[in-house]
Chains A and B, each alone.
Chain A
Amino acid sequence: MMNFNFNVSELIFILPELFLLSAISFILLFDLFVSEKYKKYSYHLSQLALIITGFLAFNLIGESATIFSGTFVLDNLGSTFKVFVLGFSVIALVYSRQYLIVHELLRNEYFILALMSILGMMVMISGHSLLTLYLGLEIMSLSLYALIATARDRAFAIEAALKYFVLGAIASGLLLYGMSMIYGITGGLDIAQISNFASSSTLESQETLILNFGLVFLVIGVAFKLGAVPFHMWVPDVYQGSPTSVTMFLSTVPKIAAVALLVRLLIDGLGNFQQYWADLFMILAVLSIAVGSLVALTQVNIKRMLAYSTISHVGFVLLGFMTGVLEGYGSAVFYVLAYILMSLAAFGSIIALNRNGFEADQVSDFKGLSKHSPWFALIMLVVMLSMAGVPPFIGFYSKLFILQQVISEGYVILAVVAVIFAVISAYYYLQVIKTMYFDESDKEIIVSAPIDLKVVLSLNGILILIIGLMPSFWMNLSVSLF
C-alpha cells in the first residue's frame, strides 16, 4: 500500500537525529568499558553531543524537505524548535548535575535517558505522519518515566513515576484512539493527506462527524502532554515527587515537543477544523488559567506551586493557539519559549539551594536569601516577577502578545478574565519574594553551587531581563515559524 522510497541523499536532513543517536550509543558503551575514574566524563560527552547536535540542527534552518515518503518533515519550525530544545537542554543538564551530585544520584543512565528523551522530542517535532509523531512521543515519554524513577530509593519518586506512567499510558491510548479514527476516515497516516481530506469541499456530514470525533481525542492527548485542566491531575504530584532536576527537565523542554505535536496534528493536519478545536482550547485555557492561579495560592512546596503556575502558563499558550491566526500561533510559541526560560531559572535557583543531604523544596527554604546571597535572590526576584507578568521582564511581553492577539480576534472578555487571574497569581509569586526579602532567616543559607551553575544561572536571569527589554527579535522569529 505504502510506497516507501528510500534515497540516501535524504539522510542529510536527519543528520542531527542520526548524530544524537550515535552519540547516545557511544556514551552508553563508553560508560560500560571505561574505568571508574573516567566515568564522570559521560556528562561532558553528553553536553558535547547536545551542542554539536544543536549546531547541526542550526545549519539545517532554511532547508525544507519532506522525506521518507512524507513521514518526516524538515521545515523552519522544526529546525528552530530543535535548536531551542537542545539549547535549553544544555542549560537543564548544567543545573541537573549539581542536584545529582549533592544528592548522590549521579549515575550515567541519567544523561543517557535525558538524551534519549531529547531524541524522542526531535522525532516528534519533525513527525509528519501519525506514526512518526506517536513514535517520537513514546520515545520521549518512556525515557521520562525512567528518568523519574532513577531516584529509586525515594518513595515519592517511584509514586510519581508510576503515576506519570499510568496516566501517560491512558493519554497515549486516547491519542491513539483519535488517530485511528482519523486514519479510518481519511485512509492515510500522512499529515498532508489528512489535511487534503479535511479541506476537501465534498466532505459529507458523516465524515465531518468522525473527523470531529477523532479531533476531540487528539486534543485530549495534546492537553494531557501540556498539562492543561482538566487533564492536569498528574502535574502537581509528578512535579513534587520527582527529583528536582527531573522536575525541571519535565516542566521545560517537553513543552516545546508538545507544542510541535499540537502544530503538526491540529494546525497542519486539521487546520480546516480550527473553529472546532479553538472552542475546545478556549475552555481548556480558561480552566487552566483559573485552576492554576487559584490552587497555587495555598501551596507551601515550591515545586508544587510551580506545577500549578505551569498549568496557568499553559492556559495562556492555549489562548494564543485558540486565536487561529499566524500571529497568535507565533505569540504562543514566544510564550512557551519565555516560560521555559523562566522555569529553568526558577528550578536552577531551587537547585542552587540544595546542599548535601538537604532537599530544598519548600518556599520557606528561601527565607532570608537576599541577605546571604543577594545576587541569587535578585535572580529569583526577577523570575518571580516575570512569571507574574510584571514589566519589564520577558513574562510581561509574552502575556502582552497573547492578550493583543486575543483582543484583536474580538475576545475582550477572555482577556479580562485572563488578566484578573494574572493578578491573583501574582500573590503567590510575591510570597516567594516576601520570603526571600522580608523574612529574617533562622538559619544560615549557603549557596554552594559550582561556578558553572552560577554562571549559567546568572546568564539565564539576565536573559529574562534583556529579552524583556528587546523582545522584538524573538517575536519576529516566533511569528516567522508559521
Chain B
Amino acid sequence: MDSLLSILIWLPIFGAGAVLLIGNNRSQLARWVSAGISILVFLLSINLFFDFDSNTSSMQFVEKMSWISQFNIFYHLGIDGISMPLIILTTFSTILVIIAGWEVIKNRVADYMAAFLMMEGIIIGVFSAMDSMLYYVFWEASLIPMLLIIGVWGGQNRVYASIKFFLYTFLGSVFMLVSLIYMYNLGGSFAISDMHSLPLTLSQQSWIFWAFFLAFAVKVPMFPVHTWLPDAHVQAPTGGSVILAAIMLKMGGYGFFRFSLPITPDASSYFSFVVIVLSLIAIVYIGFVALVQKDMKKLIAYSSISHMGFVTLGVFALFSIMKMDSNGELISIAGASIESAYLGLEGAMIQMVSHGFISAAMFLVVGVLYDRLHSREISTYGGVVNSMPKFTGFAVLFAMANAGLPGTSGFVGEFMVILGALQANFWYAFLAAMTLIVGAAYTLWMVKRVFWGPIVNPDVKTLSDVNAREFGVLSILAVAVLWMGIYPQPVIEVMHISIANLLEQSLTTKIPAIL
C-alpha cells in the first residue's frame, strides 16, 4: 500500500468524526465502532513492522505532495526505525484505552471515544511527518483532544489541570516554531532532512537547541518543567493518563532523536552536561518525591518523570562516549567501545517503548481500583489481595516491571542506559542505578500498602475481582511487558541502522568551516 501512513493518520480522524455523528445517545454503537476502528488501525499498522526494511536508514513508506507551495511546505510522510515502534505503540495503546473506558465512562461516551481516536491519528502524524511544518501542525493539534479529555472527563480540579497542561506545552512549542521558521529562512526548506544538513554556527545552534529543548523538555517532561504532569495525570480520566504517559511523553523523546541531535549536534554536545545533570536530578530527586506521595496516580506520575529521565540520559550520554576525529572517523573518549554509544541511544528507545507499556499498565491498575472505590488515596486500601487475587497478580507483575525487575521490559531499557552511561562516567551510572533502589522502594512500598496487609477499610472486602474486559486488557499488557523483557531483539534490530545513522549525524559537526 502506497499510502499506508496516510490511512493510519486519517482513518482514525475521520472515524472520530463518524463516532461523533453517532452521538452520545447511541453509546453502545459508538463503543463498538470506536473499538472496530482502533483494532483495524492497529492491524494495518502491523504492516509497517512486517514490510519494514531494517537494512536501511532512509525513510520508508514515503508520501510527498505539495501543500503550501509559497513556503515549500510539503505533505511529506515517512518513517524510519525510530518512529516505527512508536507508531505501533500508539495504535496498540489506543485499543487499550478504548476498551478500558468501555463501561467506565458513562458521560458523553461518543465524544470520549472520538477524542481518543482523533488523538491517535494526530500522534501518528507527529511520528511520521517529514516536513517540520506538518510535524508542528500535528504536534500542536494533539493538545486539543487532550485538553478536552482532561477537562471534560477529569476529576475535581480538572479545569486547572487542563489549562495548565495546555499553556505549558503551548509555551514550550511556540519557540520551536520560531526556530523552525528561522531555519527555513536560512535554508529555504521546511523539510526535516534539509534541516539535518543545514550548516549552522555554534551560536545559531545554541539558540535553536534551547528553543527545541524547551519544547521537548516540557513534553518529556524533564526537571524543572515537569510540574504540569502530576496535575494532568491526577485529574485526567484513566484513559487520558494512559495516553499521556504511554504516548504523549514519547513525543518529547522523539523530538530529541529527530530534531535536537541531528539539527544541532554541536550545541547538543556542548550542552550535553546540563541535560545529563537535569536527567539525573529527574531520576534521583523525582524518585524520592514519588516515595512520599499519598495519591497512587501522583506516585506513578512522578515515577514516569523519573523513568523518562533515562531516555534523556541515554541520548545525551552519547556525547561523553564518542566523538568524531578530524578524518571523520568515530573514536571513543576514555576507552569506551562503540557499542556503548549504541547502548545509550537504543536503551533510550527501548525505555520509551517499555515505559509506554508499564505506565499504561500502572495507570490501568489504578483505574481498576478507582472505578470500584472512587479513591486514589493509598490509605483507602490495604489487603486488596484478599478480595481481588487475580488483579493483585497483575498489579504485582507491573509493579515489578516498574521497579526494573530483570525479565520485564523495565529492566532492559534501564540496564542498557546504565551500561552506556558507565562508559561515559562512573558517577552518571552510579546515580542512574540509584533508581533501581529508589524505584523499587516507592513501587513496592505502594504495593505493600495497597495490596498486602490486613483489611482496614470495610469497603475493600466488598471489592469484586477484575471482570473479563479488565482481565483481557491487563493480560495483553502483561504479555507485552514480558515479551519486551525477555526478547527485545526484534525491536532493537528494527531500529539499529537508523540509530547508527543518527549517531553519525549527531557526531558530525555542522559548524561551517572558516575559510
User: Is B68 in the interface zone, CB < 8 Å from A?
Assistant: yes
Given the known A-B contacts A403-B178, A419-B177, A438-B151, are A391 and B137 also in contact in the complex, defined by CB atoms under 8 Å? Answer: yes
Given contacts A419-B178, A423-B170, A437-B148, contact A391 B163 (CB under 8 A): no
Cβ A476 vs Cβ B140 within 8 A: no
Question: Which residues of B from 69 to 103 have beta carbons under 8 Å from A?
Answer: 69-71
Cβ of B143 < 8 Å from any Cβ of A? yes
State how many residues of chain B have any CB contact under 8 Å with chain A: 34
CB distance from A464 to the nearest CB of B (A): 14
Question: A183 at interface (Cβ–Cβ under 8 A)?
Answer: no
**Contact in complex: A407, B178 (CB < 8 Å):** yes
**Chain A residues positioned under 8 Å from B143 (CB to CB):** 390
* With A404-B71, A423-B171 as contacts: A438 and B178 at CB distance below 8 Å: no
- Among A20-28, A48-56, A427-435, which stretch is in contact with chain B? A427-435
Nearest chain A CB to B467's CB is how many angstroms away? 30
Q: Cβ of A438 and Cβ of B175 under 8 Å apart?
A: no
- Contact check, B181 vs A416: say whether CB atoms are below 8 A apart: no
| A256 interfacial by beta-carbon distance below 8 Å | no
Complex CA–CA separation, A419 to B211 (angstroms): 13
CA distance A396 to B68 in the complex (A): 13
B52 CB-CB contact with A under 8 Å: no
Q: Contact check: which of A374, A385, A400, A422 meets B144 at CB < 8 Å?
A: A385
- Across-interface contacts of B170 in A (CB, < 8 A): 390, 423, 426
Is there a chain A Cβ closer than 8 Å to B330's Cβ? no
Using A391-B137, A472-B68 as known contacts, say yes or no to A434 and B151 having CB atoms under 8 A apart.
Answer: yes
Hey, what's the 0/1 contact readout for B156-174 against A, CB within 8 Å counting as 1?
0011001100110011001
Which residue, of B133, B151, B177, has the highest number of chain A Cβ atoms within 10 A? Answer: B177
Most buried by B among A404, A420, A470, A472: A404
* Chain B proximity of A261: nearest CB distance (Å): 26
In angstroms, Cα B299 to Cα A261, docked, is 60
Q: Does B4 contact A (CB under 8 A)?
A: no
- Known contacts A404-B184, A419-B178: does B163 contact A437 (CB below 8 Å)? no
B71: chain A residues at CB < 8 Å are 401, 404
Give chain A residues whose Cβ lies under 8 Å from the Cβ of B175: 416, 419
Given the known inter-chain contacts A396-B140, A438-B151, please indicate yes or no for A476 contacting B70, CB distance below 8 A.
yes
Cross-chain contact A390 with B140 (CB below 8 angstroms): yes
Cβ contact of B181, chosen from A327, A404, A475, cutoff 8 A: A404
Q: Which residues of A contact B111 (CB under 8 A)?
A: 374
Structural contact, B147 and A433, CB atoms closer than 8 A: yes
Contact, CB under 8 Å: B140 / A438: no
Q: Does B483 contact A (CB under 8 A)?
A: no
- Contact A412 B178, beta carbon cutoff 8 Å: yes
Q: Please provide the chain A residues from 411 to 456 with a CB less than 8 Å away from any CB of chain B in the complex.
A: 412, 415-416, 419-420, 422-423, 426-427, 430, 433-434, 437-438
Cα distance A418–B148 in the bound complex, in angstroms? 26
Partner of B167, one of A385, A397, A423: A423
Would A415 and B70 be within 8 Å (CB), given that A423-B171, A434-B163 are in contact? no
Please determine whether A392 and B137 come into contact, CB atoms closer than 8 angstroms.
yes
Closest residue to B183 on the A side, CB-wise?
A: A407
CB-CB under 8 A from A475, the residues of chain B are: 68, 70
Nearest opposing residue in chain A for B172, CB measure:
A423
Q: Is the CB of A391 within 8 A of B174?
A: no
A352 to chain B, nearest CB (A): 20
Kindly list chain B residues whose C-beta atoms are within 8 Å of the C-beta of A479: 70
- Assess the B181–A407 pair: CB atoms within 8 A: yes
Does residue B152 face the partner (Cβ distance < 8 Å to A)? yes
Interface bits B136-155 vs A (CB < 8 Å: 1, else 0): 11001101100110011000
Best-surrounded residue of A392, A426, A438, A476 (most CB of chain B within 10 A)? A438
A87: interface (CB < 8 Å): no
Known A404-B181, A407-B182, A412-B182: A437·B151 in contact at CB below 8 Å: yes
Q: Name the residue among A391, A415, A420 with the largest chain B CB count within 10 angstroms.
A: A391
**A324 vs B507: C-alpha distance in the bound complex, in angstroms?**
41
Interface of A: prevailing SS: helix
| Cβ A408 vs Cβ B70 within 8 A | no
Specify which chain B residues have a CB less than 8 angstroms from the CB of A370 in the assembled complex.
Answer: 152
Is B185 an interface position by the 8 A CB rule? yes
Whether B67 is near chain A, meaning CB under 8 Å from some CB there, is: yes
Query: A391 to chain B: which residues have CB within 8 Å?
Result: 136-137, 140-141
Contacts of B144 in A (CB 8 A): 385, 390
Q: Which of B70, B140, B171 makes the CB contact (< 8 A) with A472?
A: B70
* Bound form: Cα–Cα A374–B20 in Å: 10
Query: Is the CB of A271 closer than 8 A to any CB of chain B?
Result: no
A407 touches B185 (CB 8 A): yes
A188 within 8 A of B: no
Known contacts A419-B178, A426-B166, A475-B70; A438/B185 CB under 8 A? no
A468 to chain B, nearest CB (A): 9
Asked if A403 and B68 make an inter-chain contact with CB atoms under 8 angstroms apart, the answer reads no
Closest chain A residue, CB of each to CB of B107: A371
| B167 proximity list for chain A (CB < 8 A) | 423, 426-427, 430
- Picked from A392, A408, A427, A476, the residue with its CB within 8 Å of the CB of B185 is A408
- A327: B residues at CB distance < 8 A: 70
Chain A proximity of B338: nearest CB distance (Å): 39
Which residues of A sit under 8 angstroms from B166, Cβ to Cβ? 426, 430
Interface residue? A70 (CB, 8 A): no
Q: Look across to chain B and name the residue whose beta carbon is closest to the beta carbon of A407.
A: B181
- By beta carbon, the residue of chain B nearest A471 is B68
Q: Given A385-B144, A434-B163: A472 and B137 within 8 A (CB)? A: no
A472 to B111, CA, bound (A): 31
What B residues does A433 contact at CB under 8 A? 147, 151
B100-144 interface code vs A (CB 8 A; 1 in, 0 out):
000000000001000000000000000000000100110011011
Q: What is the distance, in angstroms, from B16's C-beta to the closest C-beta of chain A?
A: 12
List the B side residues contacting A423 at CB < 8 Å: 167, 170-171, 174
Which residue of A is nearest B143, CB measured?
A390
Q: Which A residues between 333 and 388 are near B, CB-CB below 8 angstroms?
A: 370, 374, 385
Give the complex CA separation of A426 and B181 in angstroms.
Answer: 21
Assess the A415–B181 pair: CB atoms within 8 A.
Answer: yes
Contacts of A385 in B (CB 8 A): 144
* A422 x B70 contact (CB < 8 A): no
Q: Are A396 and B181 in contact (CB under 8 A)?
A: no
Question: Assuming the A-B contacts A404-B181, A426-B167, A472-B69, are A419 and B140 also in contact, with contact meaning beta carbons closer than 8 angstroms in the complex?
Answer: no
* Given contact pairs A396-B140, A426-B167, A430-B166, A438 touches B159 in the complex (Cβ within 8 A): yes
Least CB distance from A332 to B in Å reads 14
* Complex: chain A residue closest to B174, CB-CB: A419
Residue on B nearest A393 in the bound complex, by CB: B141
Write out the residue numbers on chain B whose beta carbons fall within 8 Å of the beta carbon of A396: 137, 140
Residues of B contacting A438 in the complex (Cβ-Cβ under 8 angstroms): 151-152, 158-159, 162
**Residues of A contacting B133 with CB < 8 Å?**
400
The 9 closest A-B pairs by CB, nearest first: A419-B174, A391-B137, A438-B151, A408-B185, A423-B171, A391-B140, A472-B68, A407-B181, A404-B181
Known: A400-B181, A419-B178, A475-B68. 18 other contacts (CB 8 A): A391-B136, A391-B141, A392-B137, A396-B137, A396-B140, A400-B133, A401-B71, A404-B185, A420-B171, A423-B171, A426-B170, A427-B167, A430-B163, A433-B147, A434-B159, A434-B162, A438-B162, A476-B69
Give the interface of A toward B (CB within 8 A).
327, 370, 374, 385, 390-392, 396-397, 400-401, 403-404, 407-408, 412, 415-416, 419-420, 422-423, 426-427, 430, 433-434, 437-438, 470-472, 475-476, 479
| 17 residue pairs bridging A and B, Cβ less than 8 Å apart | A370-B152, A390-B170, A400-B181, A401-B71, A403-B177, A404-B184, A407-B182, A419-B178, A423-B170, A427-B163, A427-B167, A433-B151, A434-B162, A438-B151, A438-B162, A470-B67, A476-B70
